[in-house]
Structure 1
Amino acid sequence: MSQQKNVTTPQHGASLGNCLSIGAGIALLLILFFLISGGWFTQQPKPEWEKYWMIRPLIVVPIAGAAGGALFYFLGFLRNQGGWITALAYFLSTVGYIIILWLGTVFGLAGTWWN
């Protein structure tokens, strides 16, 4: 009879795909709200903008949101530590997501609304 070793691996609350899709979904909703509230449908775009200028932010911002979701997933090992490290991991995840989303929004809207 042989002995079996119990190997424990860190448990994530969600898979990488779930974190990516949740991050991208939140970003998509935010950029849609931003575009619609800014008059996307009612304004005529400036002549120097491309014809389909709104495609760029609708693609770039959810990709940035997915990157923020990946950051949340990869900081999962810190959230499993317990104590103040868990609180720090949630803080870093939230601040990192906001920064990544802000940079993605600026890059997505560069040359149009934020020129």
Structure 2
Amino acid sequence: MTNPEELQQPVHAAPLYKRVLQGAGLALILVVIFLLLGKNPNPEAGWRWMMLPLIMVPVSGGIGGLFYYMMDHLRHQGGWKKILANVSSVLVYIFLLLIGLIAGLNGSS
């Protein structure tokens, strides 16, 4: 039989929208820094070449935040599963940021 205290403990520490917004916000900050540090952009392209990376990277960061949210059930179990959830969340987030950045900058040339 299940313990009544186990039923009352929430698995998710934060709501889904909060994790998605955190992932997207961090990605937006990183891509803005990356774009501002870039030197000698093509003057013929104007400012529009920045729009695709500024959209693609936060979307991929939001998906990374969704993955982090989905790993909460492993994180809640503790032990090696918590370590696995944290490491996989960081690796998936970095991978998604790279894919978003590559896709955003590739379409803007």
Do the two structures share a fold, i.e. TM-score over 0.5? Answer: yes
- TM-score between the two structures when normalised by the length of structure 2: 0.85
- The answer on whether the counterparts of 2:52 and 2:107 sit within 8 Å (CA) in structure 1 is no
2:88 paired with 1:95 = no
User: Any gaps of 5 or more consecutive residues in structure 1?
Assistant: none
Gaps spanning 5+ residues in structure 2: where? none
3-state secondary structure, aligned to 1:53: helix
SS of structure 1 residue aligned to 2:53: helix
Q: Is the 8 A contact 1:10 1:80 kept in 2?
A: no
CA distance in 2, matches of 1:101, 1:108: 10
1:32 matched residue in structure 2: 32
| Corresponding letter in the other structure for 1:65 | G
Q: 1 CA distance for matches of 2:69 and 2:32? A: 25
Evaluate the alpha carbon distance shift between residue 83 and residue 29 of structure 1 in structure 2; reply closer, same or farther with a 3 A threshold: same
Number of aligned positions between the proteins: 105
RMSD: 2.1
Name the counterpart of 2:104. 108
Other-structure match for 1:77: 73
The match for 2:42 is 45
CA contact (8 A) 1:57 1:105 kept: yes
